[in-house]
Amino acid sequence: MDLTEAIACYGAYQDVRGDSARHRSECRRILNLAARHLQDPELSSITSEDLIRFMSAVRRRPGLKGRRQVSDHTMLAYHRTLAALFAYLEERGLRQPNPMAFVPRPKVAEYLIRPFSGDQLQKLLAQPDTESFTGLRDLTLMCFLLDTGCRISECLSLPLDHVDYERRIARVMGKGQKEREVPFGRCTLAWLERYLERRSASQATELLFVNQYGDRLTPNAVCHRISAYGRAAGLRGVRVSPHTFRHTFGVNWLLGTGEYKGDTLSLQKILGHSTPAMTQKYVHFAGQDLRKLHDRLSPGDQLAPPPPERRRRLL
Active site residue: 95, 225, 246, 247, which one? Answer: 246
* 37 in active site: no
Per the CB < 8 A criterion, the answer to whether 113 and 250 are in contact is yes
Positive or negative, the Cα torsion across 231, 187, 159, 210?
negative
In 10 A of CB 79, how many CB atoms?
Answer: 19
What residues form DSSP beta bridges with 171? 181
Active site residue: 23, 175, 224, 239, which one? Answer: 175
DSSP secondary structure string for all residues of 116-179: PPHHHHHHHHT-S-TTSHHHHHHHHHHHHHHHH---HHHHHT-BGGGEETTTTEEEEE-GGG-E
Active site residue: 79, 137, 151, 247, which one? Answer: 151
- Helices vs strands, H then E, count in the chain: 14, 3
Per the CB < 8 A criterion, the answer to whether 30 and 7 are in contact is no
* 246 in active site: yes
* 114 in active site: no
* 224 in active site: no
Calculate the dihedral angle through the C-alpha atoms of 56, 57, 58, 60, rounding to the nearest 10 degrees.
Answer: 90
Length of the chain: 315
* 273 in active site: yes
Active site residue: 28, 114, 168, 243, which one? Answer: 243
- CA–CA gap between residue 53 and residue 40 (Å, rounded): 15
In 10 A of CB 239, how many CB atoms?
Answer: 13
* 151 in active site: yes
- CA–CA gap between residue 153 and residue 221 (Å, rounded): 12
Residues known to be catalytic: 151, 175, 243, 246, 273, 282
